[in-house]
């Protein structure tokens, strides 16, 4: 996999998903991070997950990679180099505990292999990203489908927010939030991420 530096992720960026978790729609983007060590390429192989920390949930997301240093006013069109699909994995029971105690999310969102990513495709402009939907199949059955047109905060807003507050530079990636349909992963589940009709990457999970 090409180099990934900072890995940002956005929570609650699709209305229906915020609703399914009982969360209010946020007024500004909810940003968290995963260590770059959490990334693992979806190349058809088996990905090991933690087995004694409660349920692991999948969240299929569009992932964008940044080509150059963010400056205020920079356009998403100029900053994005390529894009992929990814799974933002969450230890949901651990996250519930952390939320109740108002603790940071690292343990629930940043564990090793918590960010499977497909190979990247060349970015050709925002219309390209809106033209196709992405979807997740588990064991051959569709579970999630999303399109960037349904985002609460669009890519430009996310880039401006992250760039201004935290910084963005070459090699940084952003997991841009998940549509509705998240759920629990079971041992030996086969995950496939599609861009339109094209299979971009797959993996099998083992606990
Ligand atoms: Zn997510």
pLDDT tens, 167-205? 999 999 999 999 999 999 999 999 999 999 999 999 999
In the numeric block, which tokens belong to residue 23? Answer: 């969360």
Query: Separation of 65 CA from ligand 1 center, angstroms?
Result: 16
Query: Separation of 87 CA from ligand 1 center, angstroms?
Result: 8
Q: State the Cα–Cα distance between residues 127 and 107, nearest whole angstrom.
A: 36
Query: Separation of 163 CA from ligand 1 center, angstroms?
Result: 19
Query: Separation of 99 CA from ligand 1 center, angstroms?
Result: 15
Give the pLDDT of residue 180. 93
The reported pTM is: 0.95
| pLDDT tens digit sequence for 62-88 | 999 999 999 999 999 999 999 999 999
Query: Separation of 86 CA from ligand 1 center, angstroms?
Result: 9
Query: Separation of 55 CA from ligand 1 center, angstroms?
Result: 15
Query: Separation of 48 CA from ligand 1 center, angstroms?
Result: 19
The single residue listed with the structure tokens 């964008």 is 64
In the numeric block, which tokens belong to residue 180? Answer: 């509705």
Three-class SS of 91-149 = EHHHHHHHHHCCCCCHHHHCCCCCEEECCCEECCCHHHHHHCCEEEEECCEEEEEECHH
Give the pLDDT of residue 27. 87
Domains with residue ranges and CATH for the chain: 7-206 (3.90.850.10)
What's the average model confidence in pLDDT over 136-144? 98
Alpha helices in 21-105 (DSSP H): 76-79, 92-100
Query: Separation of 58 CA from ligand 1 center, angstroms?
Result: 8
Sorted by sequence, the CB contacts under 8 Å of residue 65 that are 6+ apart come out as 2, 4, 80, 81, 82, 83, 84, 120, 171, 172, 173
Query: Separation of 125 CA from ligand 1 center, angstroms?
Result: 23
| pLDDT tens digit sequence for 23-62 | 887 889 999 999 999 999 999 999 999 999 999 999 999 9
Look at residue 34 and give its three-state secondary structure.
Answer: strand
Average pLDDT value over all residues in the chain: 95
Query: Separation of 60 CA from ligand 1 center, angstroms?
Result: 7
Residue 19, pLDDT > 80, answer no
Give the pLDDT of residue 17. 76
């Amino acid at each position: 996999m090409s180099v990934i530096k900072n890995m940002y992720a956005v929570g609650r960026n699709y209305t229906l998903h915020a609703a399914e978790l009982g969360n209010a729609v946020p007024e500004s983007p909810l940003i968290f991070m995963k260590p770059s060590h959490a990334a693992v390429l979806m190349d058809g192989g088996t990905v090991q997950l933690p087995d004694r920390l409660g349920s692991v949930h999948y969240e299929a997301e569009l992932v964008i990679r940044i080509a150059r240093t963010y400056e205020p006013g920079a356009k998403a069109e100029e900053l994005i180099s390529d894009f992929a699909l990814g799974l933002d994995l969450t230890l949901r029971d651990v996250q519930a505990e952390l939320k109740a105690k108002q603790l940071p999310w690292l343990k629930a969102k940043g564990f090793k292999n918590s960010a499977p990513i497909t190979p990247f495709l060349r970015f050709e402009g925002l219309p390209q990203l809106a033209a196709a939907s992405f979807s997740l199949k588990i064991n051959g059955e569709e579970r999630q489908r999303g399109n960037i047109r349904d985002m609460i905060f669009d890519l430009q807003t996310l880039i401006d927010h992250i760039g201004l507050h935290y910084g963005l530079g070459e090699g940084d990636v952003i997991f841009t939030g998940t549509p509705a349909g998240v759920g629990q992963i079971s041992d030996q589940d086969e995950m496939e991420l599609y861009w339109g009709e094209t299979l971009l990457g797959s993996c099998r999970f083992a606990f």
